[in-house]
């Protein structure tokens, strides 16, 4: 893990990320021990394919349609070039950033990635624990294979945010966010220490994803990635009332279909409905999936505290603009009025630098 270094401008210390490179060389030279995971970002996908089953790999690596949006994301990064300057006072680098009143050691955030149990048995709880150890905010997906409470426990004193796939059923939405309905939910998202709400706007219906369709694979259909719904008392009560007091565990396939119908209903929400979210959540709200300047301006008009310039990593709309391409004009339009975060297409540290240079305050890293 990166070590802490002291310097006058950052007396409490900062992680010495560069030490990791020295550790790799040292372990190889002295102990003949090579990195478990490749250091070449272009080889990560190939390496993952060797260890994951075909369905798991296709789910995490696939995109919408012919993956044109995924290509656009990478092209956008490659079109921006770095121009280095020399003999500058860069010995002590302070990567700290303040987001929604909290200071973090770096501008990186762990993006909300669902169904992590199909990638590794540690699933979201393992990732949340590591995020806490290295000082990064962890964003829990609604499509998690761990519950809100399990992730909060694993994350400990770490910073954690909650990502909402916005159900059409408003009663369930209130329950997921800040329970005024049942005692069980009183200690869920807000009471379990999730400080920021990320509302994903671009996934009210699942996209046409050929890699999943060719295997007829949808993890949610077998209950994988439905844990937050299945552990929700409002959803459980609704399911029991409709199906002779059955629990989701009694009929996972049926329960999965009903949860999917709520979360991925195929019916879009409206800007006016954001008032429901604002009434139920008294912390910062961030809208994820903004790709147009006018939508960014509308977020400001609605009193929203932040946005994520994102196209869902190319998983939702084929043929869309690369997120980085639109970032500068969105920042220019609203960057002084709300917090602009970024994701989609990020592969390297240089990519992160480019997004920050173009105005993002933080960068989400995920698949």
Residues near 29 by Cβ (< 8 Å), separated by ≥ 6?
none
What whole-number distance in Å separates Cα of residue 132 and Cα of residue 150? 14
Angle in degrees, CA 40, 46, 50, rounded to 5: 125
**Catalytic, out of 7, 31, 187, 312:** 312
Residue that is written with structure tokens 């080889």 in the block: 43
Nearest residue to 118 (alpha-carbon basis) of 208, 262, 221, 237 = 221
b/e sequence 346-367, b meaning 16+ C-beta within 10 Å: beeeebbebbbebbbbbbbebb
Which residues lie across from 339 on neighbouring strands? 306
Give the gyration radius of the chain's Cα atoms: 21
Q: What is the dihedral of CA 155, 351, 15, 3, to 10 degrees?
A: 90
What whole-number distance in Å separates Cα of residue 188 and Cα of residue 208? 33
What whole-number distance in Å separates Cα of residue 209 and Cα of residue 162? 25
Nearest residue to 111 (alpha-carbon basis) of 328, 355, 310 = 310
CB 355 within 8 A of CB 105: no
Longest CA pairwise span in the chain (Å): 74
Active site (annotated) includes residue 292: no
Tokens of 248: 């989701």
What whole-number distance in Å separates Cα of residue 193 and Cα of residue 149? 10
DSSP state, 187?
G
What whole-number distance in Å separates Cα of residue 64 and Cα of residue 314? 6
The three-state secondary structure class of 87 is: coil
| Active site amino acids | 312
């Amino acid at each position: 893990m990166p070590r802490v270094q002291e310097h006058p401008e950052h007396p409490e210390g900062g992680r010495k990320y560069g030490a990791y490179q020295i550790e790799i060389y040292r372990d190889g030279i002295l102990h003949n021990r090579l990195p478990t995971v490749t250091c070449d970002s272009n080889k990560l996908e190939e390496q993952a394919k060797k260890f994951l089953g075909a369905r798991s790999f296709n789910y995490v690596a696939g995109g919408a349609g012919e993956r044109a949006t995924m290509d656009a994301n990478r092209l956008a990064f490659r079109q921006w070039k770095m121009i280095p300057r020399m003999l500058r006072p860069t010995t002590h680098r302070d990567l700290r950033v303040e987001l929604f009143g909290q200071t973090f050691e770096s501008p990186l955030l762990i993006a909300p990635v669902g169904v992590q149990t199909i990638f590794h048995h540690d699933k979201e709880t393992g990732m949340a624990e590591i995020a806490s150890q290295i000082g990064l905010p962890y964003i829990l997906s609604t499509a998690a294979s761990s519950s809100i409470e399990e992730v909060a426990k694993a994350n400990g004193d770490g910073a954690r945010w909650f990502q909402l796939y916005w159900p059409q059923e408003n009663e369930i939405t209130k329950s997921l966010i800040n329970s005024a309905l049942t005692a069980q939910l009183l200690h869920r998202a807000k009471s379990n220490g999730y400080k920021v709400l990320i509302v994903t706007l671009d996934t009210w219906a699942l996209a046409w994803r050929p890699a999943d369709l060719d295997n007829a694979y949808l993890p949610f259909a077998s209950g994988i990635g439905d844990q937050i719904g299945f552990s929700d008392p409002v959803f459980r009560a609704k399911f029991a009332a409709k199906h002779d007091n059955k629990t989701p565990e009694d009929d996972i396939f049926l329960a999965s279909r009903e949860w999917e119908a709520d979360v991925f209903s195929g019916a879009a929400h409206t800007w006016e409905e954001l008032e429901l979210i604002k009434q139920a959540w008294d912390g910062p709200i961030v809208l994820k999936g903004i790709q147009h300047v006018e939508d960014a301006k509308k977020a400001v008009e609605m009193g929203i505290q932040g946005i994520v310039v994102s196209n869902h990593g190319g998983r939702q709309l084929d043929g869309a603009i690369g997120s980085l391409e639109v970032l500068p004009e969105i920042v220019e339009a609203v960057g002084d009025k709300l917090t602009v975060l970024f994701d989609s297409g990020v592969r390297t540290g240089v990519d992160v630098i480019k997004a920050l240079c173009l105005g993002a305050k933080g960068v989400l890293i995920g698949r």
